[in-house]
Amino acid sequence: MDVPSTACLPSLKTLLLELVVCEDQKPFEALLSICPVLEDLEVSFREDESIQEFTINVTSLWKLCLHVSYYWSSLERYEIDTPCLEYLELADWIDSPCLVKNMPKLEKAHVDVVSFVVKNVIGSVTSVKHLTVCSEDVYGDGIVFDQLEHLKLCICKDDSSNVLAQFLKDSPNLRVLVISQLDLHADLKTNEMGFWNHPSSVPECMLAVLSTDFELGRLLYRDIAVYILKNARHLRTSVLWANTNEHNVPNLEMIK
């Protein structure tokens, strides 16, 4: 990638960069700097990319999709500074430090990250109303999602049950919960979710405001389903999908 010093894209609002190749971060950051009204950015770098760090600093941006490959071994850190962002899709499967600055206007996020990254990212997306998340670990204490209404949790990780318990505790206004497996994770191990250690006290969202559709993915263990059905007092709809042959559960005895 080479950006002429005199270049300017004053009207560009949508930019898709696939398999970016740069010797360092300067051409990439220079390209972003000449797009003063950029609103929609999607970026993926080549797996053998040599960039060690980069920054996405675009004040006009409202939608960002960033994919960081598992094989990008040279990356040491990156930073996202987008104060007007409304939608974030972040897929990061390496353990390089990232800094995601405050995004007060963010309403919807899709976060698919390793445990080292999730603690840095989750604290910056607490304003969201819709959240899709896949993580290997919980995100730490002291975080509250007081505006979160719709949560989709991927269950392909061993610790997915702990992540579920934490989100139930920290999301008092949660109305819709979807527990399933992300499409891109079809080849990952499934049905390996760890032991369900349910919350010691019933989460506020179940007692007070959980009042719309509540969907459970077909691979969810029965004890989680039983806990939710027993405690979600304002539950209106529950859709349970189960492979009864795989789990050796008779059709009429799925939930007792």
Q: Which residue's structure tokens are 């040599």?
A: 50
The 8-class DSSP code of residue 168 comes to H
What is the mean pLDDT of the segment spanning 147-151? Answer: 92
Bigger pLDDT: 195 vs 3: 3
The 8-class DSSP code of residue 191 comes to S
Query: So what's the pLDDT on residue 39?
Result: 98
Burial class (CB in 10 A: 0-12, 13-18, 19+), 144: exposed
Tens of pLDDT, residues 78-87: 899 999 999 9
Give the mean pLDDT of the chain: 77
Flag whether pLDDT at 220 surpasses 80. Answer: no
Flag whether pLDDT at 101 surpasses 60. Answer: yes
Most confident of 75-79, 124-128, 221-225, 226-230: 124-128
Q: Which long-range contacts (CB under 8 A, 24 or more apart) does 8-12 make?
A: 8/34, 9/34, 9/35, 9/38, 10/36, 10/37, 11/37, 12/37, 12/38
b or e along 223-234 (b: 16 or more beta carbons within 10 Å of the residue's beta carbon)? ebbebbeebbee
Residue (of 183, 130, 181) closest to 160 by Cα position:
181
Flag whether pLDDT at 58 surpasses 90. Answer: yes
Q: Determine phi and psi for 239, rounding to 5 degrees.
A: -115, 115
What is the mean pLDDT of the segment spanning 35-42? Answer: 97
> Which band of pLDDT confidence, cut at 50, 70 and 90, is reported for residue 225?
confident
Element (H, E) at 113: strand 108-113
CA–CA separation, 134 vs 166, rounded Å?
A: 13
Flag whether pLDDT at 168 surpasses 50. Answer: yes
CA atoms within 13 A on the CB side of 145: 30
Residue (of 171, 154, 160) closest to 207 by Cα position:
171
Residue (of 140, 139, 148, 138) closest to 109 by Cα position:
148
* pTM of the complete model: 0.82
